[in-house]
């Protein structure tokens, strides 16, 4: 009898392992569904940003001057970068809804102050007689749709207006310009102010010989990126302040040059995951979006599906051994389907309630029916223990999801604890008889 029981359990353990592996198929399709919803969210963000303002990058101002060659056959562009550059940006964020998706946007007030050196022409050995047009003060703004006010230039208490488009595209692709005589721009402090709408990212290019950038806003989770991190920063729950101090020695380009002597145009690269990223080696950026969205958390949760299924199935299998009850393979499938359905509940509810609340609701919707179902099958205190263990597992996996730095340690400890429990329960596996056989033998002796 005991030998037959052991063979039965061995055969059943193989089927249970196969069922557990097969449930990875619906989990995979749920992961695909998460990725699809994530793409729709990105499309909603792009659609709103196209109308409000895309990622905004500000570069400049810088002077471009057309210079005729000695033989008079061509005209080259000489570029001069400022010696002092200060940018102050005050950012106010807001969330706008597009369907069920929230799109983070911002409006920023920008104040640019600076100065160009005197005798700029001498730096490139330019004869003033070869100047063939007015100088242009160019200012790079990556998405001109985001401008919500006129851009004014103040020099010597006089105000000048900018025109759309750059005077040339050697250094940047997009921006605005103001045409003035070269002498009006040399050695004089300037001031530029405007209001700019954007989304996701705001960045500056350190074109000055000495750069002082300050940014503050009402966003509590800024992400600093680009080629330079701020020298000082203060981040609170609902605000931040950051400051960059960058010298010309920190950058790989000079303060003046001809034509495309340096290229600030952004390029794209694809990392090992196939994710397209923008290369910004000479930018100072702040990102105003949370990279850990509900979709990212849902994908991470799906990674633990196999371990949750495996541990619950092992617990049920051991419950059969301890109680002598028979749990049918179909019942294992039903329990596995309930656990798998949790990940679909998590995805659908997180879009409306947020990830944390969705996880709580989904766990309750799965654990309570499982307890009732398992108790109807086993009808013993073991069903309560399995439900308590399931609740503990759901809780531990949630802690692992929100504690990225310690998730591996927590997961390892949980796996080690489960292994110790299985070792304790199965230490006499095959040596002792199941409870039902012991009861039957005692009944026979009494008869």
Could you read off the pLDDT of 412-443 as tens digits, one per residue?
887 788 788 777 766 666 555 554 454 454 45
Q: Which residue has the higher pLDDT, 365 or 407?
A: 365
Average pLDDT on 380-386 reads 80
Which of 53-57, 322-326, 361-365, 387-391 comes out lowest in average pLDDT? 322-326
The confidence score (pLDDT) of residue 438 equals 47
The confidence score (pLDDT) of residue 101 equals 80
pLDDT confidence tier of residue 177, bands split at 50, 70 and 90 = very high
**Residue 112 in contact with residue 82, Cβ under 8 Å?**
no
d(CA 149, CA 165) in angstroms, rounded, equals 16
Asked whether the predicted pLDDT for residue 72 surpasses 80, the reply is: no
Whole-prediction pTM: 0.74
**Residue 256 in contact with residue 78, Cβ under 8 Å?**
yes
Average pLDDT on 51-55 reads 89
**Residue 237 in contact with residue 326, Cβ under 8 Å?**
no
Asked whether the predicted pLDDT for residue 58 surpasses 60, the reply is: yes
Asked whether the predicted pLDDT for residue 274 surpasses 50, the reply is: no
pLDDT confidence tier of residue 280, bands split at 50, 70 and 90 = low
The confidence score (pLDDT) of residue 439 equals 45
The confidence score (pLDDT) of residue 248 equals 85
d(CA 5, CA 438) in angstroms, rounded, equals 13
* Angle (deg, nearest 10), helices 407-425 and 305-323: 20
The confidence score (pLDDT) of residue 9 equals 63
The confidence score (pLDDT) of residue 185 equals 76
Asked whether the predicted pLDDT for residue 283 surpasses 60, the reply is: yes
Asked whether the predicted pLDDT for residue 350 surpasses 80, the reply is: yes
**Residue 202 in contact with residue 286, Cβ under 8 Å?**
yes
> Which pair of tokens denotes residue 63?
């002077």
The confidence score (pLDDT) of residue 108 equals 94
- Listed in sequence order, the residues at least 6 apart from 46 whose beta carbon sits closer than 8 Å to its beta carbon are none
The confidence score (pLDDT) of residue 138 equals 93
Q: Which residue has the higher pLDDT, 107 or 317?
A: 107
Q: Across all residues in the chain, what is the average pLDDT?
A: 82
Asked whether the predicted pLDDT for residue 260 surpasses 90, the reply is: no
d(CA 246, CA 231) in angstroms, rounded, equals 9
d(CA 176, CA 215) in angstroms, rounded, equals 22
Q: What share of the chain is helix, strand, coil (3-state, %, to 5)?
A: 45, 30, 25
Asked whether the predicted pLDDT for residue 311 surpasses 90, the reply is: no
**Residue 230 in contact with residue 214, Cβ under 8 Å?**
no
**Residue 298 in contact with residue 347, Cβ under 8 Å?**
yes
Strand partners, 414: none
The confidence score (pLDDT) of residue 8 equals 64
Pick the CATH number of 55-290 from 2.60.40, 1.10.10, 1.10.150, 2.40.128: 2.60.40
Q: What is the three-class DSSP state of 137?
A: strand
The confidence score (pLDDT) of residue 291 equals 61
Nearest-5° Cα angle at 134, 132 to 137: 135
The confidence score (pLDDT) of residue 4 equals 58
Average pLDDT on 68-75 reads 77
**Annotated domain spans of the chain:** 2-36+295-446, 55-290
Strand partners, 249: none
Asked whether the predicted pLDDT for residue 3 surpasses 60, the reply is: no
Q: Which residue has the higher pLDDT, 381 or 54?
A: 54
Asked whether the predicted pLDDT for residue 12 surpasses 60, the reply is: yes
The confidence score (pLDDT) of residue 87 equals 95
Asked whether the predicted pLDDT for residue 217 surpasses 80, the reply is: yes
pLDDT confidence tier of residue 322, bands split at 50, 70 and 90 = confident
* Nearest in space to 288 (alpha carbons), one of 239, 246, 243, 244: 239
Asked whether the predicted pLDDT for residue 173 surpasses 50, the reply is: yes
Asked whether the predicted pLDDT for residue 18 surpasses 80, the reply is: yes
Task: Report the DSSP pairing between strands 75-80 and 56-68.
Answer: antiparallel
d(CA 337, CA 429) in angstroms, rounded, equals 29
The confidence score (pLDDT) of residue 144 equals 92
> Which pair of tokens denotes residue 284?
């100072």
The confidence score (pLDDT) of residue 442 equals 47
Q: Which residue has the higher pLDDT, 98 or 364?
A: 364
* Nearest in space to 48 (alpha carbons), one of 98, 92, 95: 98
The confidence score (pLDDT) of residue 6 equals 60
d(CA 24, CA 308) in angstroms, rounded, equals 11
**Residue 255 in contact with residue 83, Cβ under 8 Å?**
yes
The confidence score (pLDDT) of residue 271 equals 45
Strand partners, 68: 75
d(CA 8, CA 411) in angstroms, rounded, equals 32
Residue 443's region, left for phi above 0, alpha for psi from -120 to 50, else beta, is alpha
């Amino acid at each position: 009898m005991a030998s037959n029981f052991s063979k039965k359990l061995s055969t059943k353990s193989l089927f249970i392992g196969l069922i557990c592996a097969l449930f990875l198929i619906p989990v995979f399709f749920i992961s695909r569904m998460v990725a699809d919803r994530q793409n729709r969210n990105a499309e909603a963000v792009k659609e709103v940003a196209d109308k409000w303002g895309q990622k905004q990058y500000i570069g400049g101002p810088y002077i471009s001057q057309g210079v005729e060659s000695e033989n008079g056959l061509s005209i080259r562009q000489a570029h001069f970068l400022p010696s002092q550059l200060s940018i102050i940006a005050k950012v106010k964020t807001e969330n706008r809804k597009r369907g069920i998706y929230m799109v983070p946007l911002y409006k920023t007030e920008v104040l640019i102050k600076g100065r160009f050196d005197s005798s700029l022409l001498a730096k490139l050995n330019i004869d003033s007689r070869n100047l063939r047009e007015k100088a242009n003060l160019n200012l790079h703004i990556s998405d001109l749709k985001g401008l919500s006010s006129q851009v004014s230039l103040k020099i010597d208490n006089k105000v000048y207006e900018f025109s759309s488009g750059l005077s040339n595209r050697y250094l940047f692709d997009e921006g605005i310009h103001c045409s003035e005589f070269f002498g009006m721009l040399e050695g004089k402090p300037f001031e530029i102010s405007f209001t700019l709408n954007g989304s996701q990212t705001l960045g500056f290019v350190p074109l000055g010989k000495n750069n002082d950038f300050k940014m503050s806003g009402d966003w509590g989770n800024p992400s600093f990126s680009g080629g330079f991190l701020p020298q000082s920063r203060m981040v609170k729950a609902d605000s931040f302040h950051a400051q960059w101090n960058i010298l010309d020695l920190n950058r790989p380009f000079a303060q003046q040059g001809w034509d495309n002597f340096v290229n600030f145009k952004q390029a794209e690269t694809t990392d090992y995951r196939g994710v397209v990223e923008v290369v910004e080696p000479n930018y100072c950026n702040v990102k105003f979006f949370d990279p850990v969205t509900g979709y990212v958390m849902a994908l991470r949760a799906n990674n633990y599906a196999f371990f949750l299924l495996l541990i619950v199935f092992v617990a049920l299998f051991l419950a059969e051994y301890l109680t002598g009850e028979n749990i049918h393979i179909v019942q294992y499938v039903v329990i596995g389907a309930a656990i798998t359905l949790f990940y679909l509940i998590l995805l659908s509810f997180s879009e409306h309630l947020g990830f944390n609340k969705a996880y709580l609701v989904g766990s309750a919707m799965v654990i309570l029916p499982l307890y009732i179902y398992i108790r109807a099958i086993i009808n013993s205190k073991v069903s309560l223990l399995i439900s308590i263990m399931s609740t503990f597992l759901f809780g531990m996996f949630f802690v692992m999801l929100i504690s990225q730095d310690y998730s591996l340690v927590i997961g390892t400890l949980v796996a080690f604890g489960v292994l110790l429990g299985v070792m304790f329960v199965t230490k006499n596996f095959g040596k002792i008889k199941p409870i039902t056989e012991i009861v039957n033998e005692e009944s026979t002796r009494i008869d």
